[in-house]
Amino acid sequence: MGEEKKGFFARLKEGLTKTRNNIVHGIDAIFSGFSEIDEDFYEELEEILIMGDLGVNATSEILERLKAQVRSQGLKKPEECRQLLIDSIREQMDVGETAYDFEKEQSVVLVIGVNGVGKTTSVGKLAALLKGQGRKVLIAAADTFRAAAGEQLAQWANRAGVDMIGGREGADPASVIFDAVNAARARHADVLLCDTAGRLHNKKNLMEELKKMNRIIDREFPDVHRENLVVLDGTTGQNALVQAREFSQAADLTGIILTKMDGTAKGGIAVAIQSELGIPVKYIGVGEHIEDLQKFDAEQFVNALFDVKTEEE
Ligand SMILES: Nc1nc2c(ncn2[C@@H]2O[C@H](COP(=O)(O)OP(=O)(O)O)[C@@H](O)[C@H]2O)c(=O)[nH]1
Ligand SMILES: [Mg+2]
């Protein structure tokens, strides 16, 4: 690739460039454009946050918290509250302990989401990430709906250097899951990552299929750590919230993989998702390469977004 290997934080920052240009430049313009904190100042700030896709709920909570602090500290000048705003956004994203236990335990991870959001890519990246941590990873190609799907995943398995259990096109996805779960047990794999279809003949079908896969995993591997990660495309904005809600009716969602954060100016969606759904964003995708999947950390995210200088640089 010829590309110099960049540090983790540098890649995150680069991935968030568009969002930073959108939200932060807007905020900076308000901070320099207003000489005092007044209602107009708050209104413009609200507009910027909503435009950056932070969502109505998160935006109003961020502003309430900011206003309370401005009042109690008797602040008058916009620049005096910039850091408070950053802190307020960070707090809004903190939904408590984000669990990565499955990375260390024996686990089965079902990766779900609509077509094109980045499921297969994320399974490949996650396989590489976990393998790099010394885990024995197996992946299951349960998207048997499209002919090219298994082939695409096989390439990722190859890149990540892990084994794949596949099924023929048109095979019952649940039977692939059955085979994969039993292979994971027999081979003493640590983590089984299951890629799934984003589309079947209709939506009801898709949801029923997911329930069936979950039942099979529970039956065949009752004691294993379970994760259902829904993949959402960061460029789709508020629509991502709608998708997550739909999938939450078919599966017990344990986390979110938010992809294409490098291609969106609306990375604020990460804030909206955490606060509106209460489901932790566990990973974010910041590019198409195998190393472009990162654990999500609210602190780092906000620092990268606001270009806060950290020790890592
Ligand atoms: N820029 C960028 N592209 C991504 C990311 N994740 C996935 N993609 C691209 O999105 C497209 C769809 O990905 P795919 O994994 O096939 O989606 P699936 O249908 O959900 O399995 C592919 O072209 C990927 O390269 C990401 O984090 N950043
Ligand atoms: Mg796919």
Between 192 and 279, where is the model more confident? 192
In DSSP terms, 137 is beta-bridged to 191
Rounded to the nearest angstrom, the distance between the alpha carbon of 119 and the centre of ligand 2 is: 5
On whether the CB atoms of residues 184 and 221 are closer than 8 A, the answer is yes
Using a pLDDT cut of 70, give the percent of the chain over it. 95
Q: Is the pLDDT of residue 307 over 80?
A: no
Element (H, E) at 226: strand 225-233
Q: What pLDDT score does 3 carry?
A: 47
Helix (H) or strand (E) holding 107: strand 107-112
Determine the pLDDT at residue 129.
97
Ligand 1 centroid to 289 CA: how many Å? Answer: 10
Q: Per the structure block, which two tokens stand in for 95?
A: 């939904």
> Where do the domains of the chain lie, and which CATH numbers do they carry?
8-93 (1.20.120.140), 101-253 (3.40.50.300)
259 versus 4: which is more confidently predicted?
259
70 or 17: which carries more pLDDT confidence? Answer: 70
CA distance 141 to 194: 6
User: Could you identify the atom of ligand 1 that is nearest to the CA of residue 114?
Assistant: 20
- Of the bound ligands, which one is closest to the alpha carbon of residue 147? 2
pLDDT score of 309 more than 80: no
The closest-lying atom of ligand 1 relative to the alpha carbon of residue 231 is 20
Nearest CA to ligand 1 atom 1: 287
Task: Give the pairing of strands 281-285 and 293-295.
Answer: antiparallel
Span from the CA of 116 to the centroid of ligand 2 (angstroms): 7
Whether the per-residue pLDDT at 310 is higher than 80: the answer is no
Q: Are 261 and 284 in contact (CB under 8 A)?
A: yes
- Residues with CB under 5 Å of ion ligand 2 are 119-120
Give residue 256 CA to ligand 1 midpoint distance, Å. Answer: 15
Burial class of residue 3 (count of CB atoms within 10 Å of its CB; 0-12, 13-18, 19+): exposed
- 189-239 confidence digits (pLDDT tens): 999 999 999 987 778 889 999 999 999 999 999 999 999 999 999 999 889
Q: What is the pLDDT of residue 2?
A: 38
In this prediction the pTM is 0.89
How close is the Cα of 117 to the center of ligand 1, in Å?
A: 6
Ligand nearest to C-alpha 114: 1
What is the atom index within ligand 1 of the atom nearest the CA of 263? Answer: 1
Q: What is the pLDDT of residue 274?
A: 80
The string of pLDDT tens digits covering residues 144-181 is 988 888 999 999 999 999 999 997 778 899 999 999 99
pLDDT of residue 97: 62
Average pLDDT, the chain: 89
CA distance 252 to 47: 34
Q: Strand order in 293-295's β-sheet?
A: 163-165, 137-142, 191-196, 107-112, 225-233, 255-259, 281-285, 293-295
Q: What is the distance in A from the centroid of ligand 1 to the CA of 218?
A: 29
Please say whether the beta carbons of 293 and 160 come within 8 A: no
In this predicted structure, the answer to whether residue 89 has a pLDDT above a threshold of 90 is: no
pLDDT band at 98 (very low <50, low <70, confident <90, very high): low
Closest CA to 174 of 217, 213, 222, 221: 213
CA 115 to centroid of ligand 2, rounded, Å: 7
Output the ligand 1 site: residues, CB below 6 A. 113, 115-121, 198, 231, 259-260, 262-263, 285-288, 292
pLDDT in tens, 1-27: 434 456 777 878 888 888 888 888 888
Q: Given ligand 1 and candidates 19, 114, 121, 125, which is best to mutate, with the most ligand atoms within 8 Å of its CB?
A: 121
Please check whether residue 163 is in contact with residue 139, taking contact to mean a CB–CB distance below 8 angstroms: yes
Residue 287 Cα to ligand 1 middle (Å)? 8
Q: What is the mean pLDDT of residues 259-278?
A: 86
Confidence band for 96, pLDDT divided at 50, 70 and 90: low
- 288, 291, 293: which to mutate for ligand 1, most atoms within 8 A of CB? 288
- What's the rounded Cα separation, in Å, for the pair 192 and 139? 5
H-type alpha helices, the chain: 8-15, 17-19, 25-33, 39-51, 56-73, 82-93, 119-132, 147-160, 173-186, 203-220, 239-248, 269-277, 298-305
